[in-house]
């Protein structure tokens, strides 16, 4: 049985780096945003959601990020503390930057979209001086997220964090999290994603995100070739998510596992990936077999997409286990 090694002599389990933003989820479902009259505010940002999910599962979580010097920034910091996330790596912007906003539109359970306001956002103002080597040295794993590579100085901060992680044998997990609105063009995205992915131990992304990243090789749709490419660098595990068709994971020793999904009453589809990642990481950190970790992630994803929020909806271990008592997995035919 394959399992990923983590350094045990660390005070924290998972430190995320990148986007801390606000989700404004439409209160009126099954209609376009033009007709929405109210939204509910939640902490958001893919890496933040994953760190929150990990903390809700009992992992000791921390975060390296930058928040705006206003009510939204203070709201984010307060929420992280209330959810047992260490905020010593979170700094406050002093340039007048604002908090990124993610307006979500729920036209139907299958037709959801996100409108992101990303101009002059504090999260992309994170700079190398905000990244502490000592802070990274104390964690078993570092979670990086693709959107933090979209602009300087955040880009340089992430690469410095990567260097510190490699220096101190911190396991690096790369959640690809591709958001086109944050990038100038796909070529630039692919270059920076490749430079980061080459240093990572675990890479998690959708088929489409891997296709974007591998556009110079044109591996399109070939999961096995994708995994083989990344095993040629530092990767130990490559997970390719296929939405409602489930996921597949490959390990460097040549094994692969598929996981189906747990059918659920879908309210909105976004949040699935963040929930999957947090619970999958929890399984890896507990030394579980790959398939068990994948199914735990799939169960978490099903719970979150049946609810209105992402961060708030992240389940506890007890909630996932209760869900698994009655849920049945549906394998892709």
Ligand X SMILES: Nc1ncnc2c1ncn2[C@@H]1O[C@H](COP(=O)(O)OP(=O)(O)O)[C@@H](O)[C@H]1O
Among 19, 66, 140, 155, binds ligand LHLMWEOZ (CB under 6 A): 19
Whole-angstrom distance, CA of residue 200 vs CA of residue 236: 8
Asked if 49 is part of the footprint of ligand X (rule: CB under 6 A), the reply reads no
Structure tokens of 227?
């995994």
- Indicate which of ligand LHLMWEOZ, ligand X, none lies near residue 266 (CB less than 5 to 8 Å, by partner kind): ligand X
Asked if 271 is part of the footprint of ligand LHLMWEOZ (rule: CB under 6 A), the reply reads yes
Q: How far is CA 73 from CA 79, 98, 207, in A?
A: 10, 8, 33
Q: Taking a C-beta distance cutoff of 8 angstroms, is the pair 53, 314 a contact?
A: yes
Q: Which element (helix H / strand E) includes 29?
A: none
Find out whether 278 and 301 touch, Cβ atoms under 8 Å. Answer: no
Using the contact rule CB under 6 A, the part of the chain among 79-87, 224-232, 269-277, 284-292 near ligand LHLMWEOZ is 269-277
Nearer to ligand LHLMWEOZ, 111 or 289 (CB): 111
When asked if residue 113 is in the footprint of ligand X (CB under 6 A), the reply is no
Under the binding rule (CB under 6 A), the answer on residue 264 touching ligand X is: yes
Q: Which stretch binds ligand LHLMWEOZ (CB under 6 A): 18-26, 29-37, 91-99, 211-219?
A: 18-26
What is the distance of C-alpha 232 from the center of its chain?
A: 23
Residues numbered 204 to 243 that lie near ligand X (CB under 6 A) are 206, 241-243
44 binds, among ligand X, ligand LHLMWEOZ, none (CB under 5 to 8 A by kind): ligand LHLMWEOZ
Q: Looking up tokens 């790959």, which residue turns up? A: 290
Among 247, 251, 309, 311, binds ligand X (CB under 6 A): 247
C-alpha dist (Å) from residue 314 to 57, 278, 307: 9, 9, 9
Give, in order, the Cα–Cα distances in Å from 99 to each of 85, 138, 284: 19, 28, 32
Burial class (CB in 10 A: 0-12, 13-18, 19+), 193: buried
Contacting positions for ligand X (CB under 6 A): 206, 241-244, 246-247, 261-262, 264, 266, 269, 272-273, 276, 298, 301-302, 305
Contacts to ligand LHLMWEOZ by CB under 6 A = 19, 21, 23, 44-46, 49, 102, 114, 270-274, 310
């Amino acid at each position: 049985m394959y399992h990923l090694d983590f350094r045990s002599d660390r005070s924290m389990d998972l430190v995320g780096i990148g986007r801390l933003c606000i989700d404004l989820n439409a209160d009126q479902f099954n209609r376009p945003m033009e007709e929405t009259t109210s939204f509910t505010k939640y902490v958001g940002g893919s890496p933040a959601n994953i760190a929150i999910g990990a903390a809700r599962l009992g992992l000791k979580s921390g975060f390296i990020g930058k928040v705006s010097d206003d009510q939204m920034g203070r709201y984010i910091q307060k929420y992280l503390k209330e959810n047992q996330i260490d905020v010593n790596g979170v700094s406050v912007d002093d340039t007048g930057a604002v908090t990124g906003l993610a307006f979500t539109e729920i036209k139907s359970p299958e037709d959801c979209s996100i409108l992101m306001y990303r101009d002059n956002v504090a999260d992309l103002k994170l700079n190398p001086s905000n990244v502490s080597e000592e802070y990274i040295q104390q964690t078993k794993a570092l979670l990086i997220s693709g959107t933090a590579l979209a602009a300087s100085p955040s880009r340089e901060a992430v690469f410095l964090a990567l260097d510190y992680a490699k220096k101190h044998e911190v396991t690096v997990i790369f959640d690809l999290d591709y958001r086109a609105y944050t990038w100038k063009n796909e070529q630039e995205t692919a270059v920076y994603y490749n430079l980061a992915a080459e240093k990572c131990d675990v890479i998690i992304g959708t088929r489409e995100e891997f296709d974007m990243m591998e556009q110079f090789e044109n591996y399109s749709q070939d999961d096995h070739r994708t995994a083989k490419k990344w095993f040629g660098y530092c990767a130990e595990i490559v997970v390719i998510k296929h939405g409602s068709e489930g996921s597949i994971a490959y390990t460097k020793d040549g094994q692969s596992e598929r996981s189906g999904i747990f059918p659920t009453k879908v309210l909105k589809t976004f949040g699935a990936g963040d929930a999957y990642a947090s619970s999958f990481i929890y399984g890896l950190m507990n030394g579980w077999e790959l398939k068990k970790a994948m199914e735990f992630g799939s169960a978490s994803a099903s719970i979150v997409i049946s609810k209105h929020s992402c961060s708030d909806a992240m389940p506890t271990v007890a909630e996932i286990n209760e869900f698994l008592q009655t849920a049945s997995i549906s394998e892709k035919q």
